Amino acid sequence: MAGYWVVAAADLELLAQAIFASAGTPDAIAHHVARHLVRANLSGHDSHGVLRIPQYVQFIDEGMIRPAAEPRVLREHGATALLSAERGFGQYSTSVALDLAIRKAEAFGVGLVTVRQGNHIGRVGEYTEAAARRGFAAQVFGGTAGARVRPAAPFGAAGTAFGTNPFSVGVPTSGDDPVLVDFATTVLAEGKLRIYRVKQEELPPDVIVDSEGKPSVDVEDFYSRGGMLKPIAAHKGSGLSLATALLGGLAAIGEDNPSSNGTAPQPPPEGGRDRTGGIFLLVINPGAFGDADAYRETVSRTVGAIKATPPAPGVEEVLIPGEPEFRARAARGREGIALPEGTWDELGAVAHRFGLALPVTRRG
């Protein structure tokens, strides 16, 4: 592939960790965030991988990310808890929240944890997959809606009021891999627009509109000229996006100027509590409802029946949500991660700033 550099996942993870450590991140947190980003690349989601490193370093410079922050429990009652991420790395704080939710699910059958004061939480499927591989069903999403919230327009609107508000569900099976549903409630995640931008390619149709609400395929209409992402499935996706924000908003009760949606820090509104949002994690212990092994076996048999349905014309195979990620992870683990030249150049600039050497790569 012309215009790409291929790098081993382990080398890329070491580079990411060194960059974050150089920017003031404690080693344990730097390792955690670096691993999360590289696993996103391995899973085929380059939009949530190391492409984000320059953005995160900029957020550290601007004070939006506090690299050494540890999450703090603000409220706890039975099966529920509220955490503050303290403006730290979202990948780290959300993983802490997930561990707490799993402990509560072990004790109470379900665990519900919400998180406020956070930052971009990365690939949302990482958390539901982790829960499912431990035998739990999980639902995780981050949402924000209201005044001056970007980058998505509600259905029928000519202005923004939603984040990309990602949504994920993970369900354990009796096999090697869980069922994993993971998507933004916009037609494309904002990070996937970054891929088109760095590759200098036109967007697919019906992904964004320009500042006047007209369809556009020019990614700069979004990044430079006030364009907006469209919701998936018209009014249905718009409703789902709002639901993520309102349930995520359980984390924002009594909070002035809630500003996190799991996608990126949002600018504070000009007075009033005219926005809401936060991170929502629900973990379910199947054993609270019956035999957990029987449930996993039923899920696997159901998945098998779905995969056995005949493919439509032109379709090679019926895939279950999560299969593309797991297959990409295996392939990229063997062959290396291909990064567009523009992404590699941006990483090189950040590495140079901290006096770090880039790992050995080869042309793709």
In a domain, 346, yes or no: yes
| pLDDT value, residue 270 | 54
- pLDDT band of residue 88 (cuts 50, 70, 90) is very high
In a domain, 20, yes or no: yes
Chain mean pLDDT for the chain? 94
| pLDDT value, residue 110 | 98
53: containing domain: 1-68+328-364
- pLDDT band of residue 122 (cuts 50, 70, 90) is very high
| pLDDT value, residue 255 | 84
Alpha helix segments (H runs only) across the chain: 9-22, 27-42, 53-61, 90-108, 125-133, 190-198, 219-223, 235-248, 292-307, 323-335, 341-353
Give the residue, 224 or 2, on which the prediction is more confident: 224
In a domain, 351, yes or no: yes
| pLDDT value, residue 257 | 65
- pLDDT band of residue 360 (cuts 50, 70, 90) is confident
pLDDT, tens only, 53-79 = 999 999 999 999 999 999 999 999 999
Task: List the Cα angle 292/179/249 in 5-degree steps.
Answer: 90
| pLDDT value, residue 271 | 45
What are the CA-CA distances from residue 75 to residues 115, 167, 235, 247 (Å)?
A: 11, 24, 35, 17
In a domain, 343, yes or no: yes
Measured in residues, the chain has a length of: 364
Averaged pLDDT, 259-285: 73
| pLDDT value, residue 3 | 86
Averaged pLDDT, 246-253: 95
State how many domains the chain has: 1
What are the CA-CA distances from residue 220 to residues 11, 198, 340 (Å)?
A: 32, 11, 18
pLDDT at 263 over 60: no
What are the CA-CA distances from residue 147 to residues 98, 152, 153, 234 (Å)?
A: 29, 12, 12, 21
Please, are residues 144 and 165 in contact by the beta-carbon 8 Å criterion?
A: yes
Q: How far apart are CA 280 and CA 260, in angstroms?
A: 12
pLDDT at 261 over 70: no
Q: How far apart are CA 172 and CA 293, in angstroms?
A: 10
| Closest to 132 measured CA to CA, from 89, 101, 156 | 101
| pLDDT value, residue 1 | 44
| pLDDT value, residue 264 | 53
Q: Residue 25's domain is classified under what CATH number?
A: 1.10.1530.10
In a domain, 4, yes or no: yes
Q: Could you tell me the two tokens for 25?
A: 């991140």
pLDDT, tens only, 305-329 = 999 999 999 999 999 999 999 999 9
pLDDT at 253 over 90: yes
Please, are residues 358 and 348 in contact by the beta-carbon 8 Å criterion?
A: yes
| pLDDT value, residue 265 | 52
In a domain, 360, yes or no: yes
Record the pTM.
0.95
- pLDDT band of residue 266 (cuts 50, 70, 90) is low
Strand partners, 183: 167
pLDDT at 273 over 50: yes
Averaged pLDDT, 18-23: 98
In a domain, 342, yes or no: yes
